[in-house]
Chains A and B, each alone.
Chain A
Amino acid sequence: MASSGSGYDLSPTTFSPDGRIFQVEYASKSVASSGTLIGLKCSDGIVLACEKLLANKMLVPGSNKRINTVSKTSGCAFTGFVSDGRQIVNRAREEASSYLDTYGIPVPPSVLADRLAHYVHYFTLHGALRPFGASMVLGCYEEDMDEASLYMVEPSGQVFKYFGCAAGKGRQGAKTEIEKLDLSTLTVAQGVKEAARIVTMLRDDGKDKPMELEISTVAAENNYVHKPCEKSVIAEAEKWAKEQIEEEEDMEEDED
Chain B
Amino acid sequence: MSTLSFSLDPTAAQTTPSQRTQYPIVTGTSVVGLKYKGGVMLAADTLCSYGSMAKYKDARRIRTVGTNTIIGASGEYSDFQSIMDTLEGHTQDDVNYDDGHKSDAKSIHSYLRAIMYQRRSKMNPLWNDLVIAGSGFLGYVDKIGTTYEDDFIATGFGSYLAIPILRSKWRPDLTEGEARALLEDCLRVLFYRDCRALNRIQIAKVAEGETGVVSEPYELETNWEGAGFESTKGGMEGDGGW
A residues engaging B (CB < 8 A)?
Answer: 65, 68-72, 93, 97, 101, 228
Contact = CB atoms under 8 A, between A and B. Distances in A.
B95 A69 contact: yes
Interface in B45-103: 85, 89, 92, 95-96, 98
B10 to A, nearest CB: 27
A69 B98 CA distance: 8
Contacts of B85: 101
12 contacts: A69-B95, A69-B96, A69-B98, A70-B96, A71-B92, A72-B92, A72-B95, A93-B96, A97-B89, A97-B92, A101-B89, A228-B98
A71 B95 CA distance: 9
A97 B92 CA distance: 9
A68 B92 contact: no
B98 A65 contact: yes
A252 B89 CA distance: 53
A95 to B, nearest CB: 13
Contacts of A97: 89, 92
Contacts of B95: 69, 72
Interface in B201-242: none
Interface string B4-46: 0000000000000000000000000000000000000000000
Contacts of B92: 71-72, 97
Nearest to B99: A62
B241 to A, nearest CB: 43
A56 B98 CA distance: 22
B98 to A, nearest CB: 6
A169 B85 CA distance: 42
A69 B95 CA distance: 7
Contacts of A72: 92, 95
Contacts of B89: 97, 101
Contacts of B96: 68-70, 93
A101 B98 CA distance: 22
A222 to B, nearest CB: 13
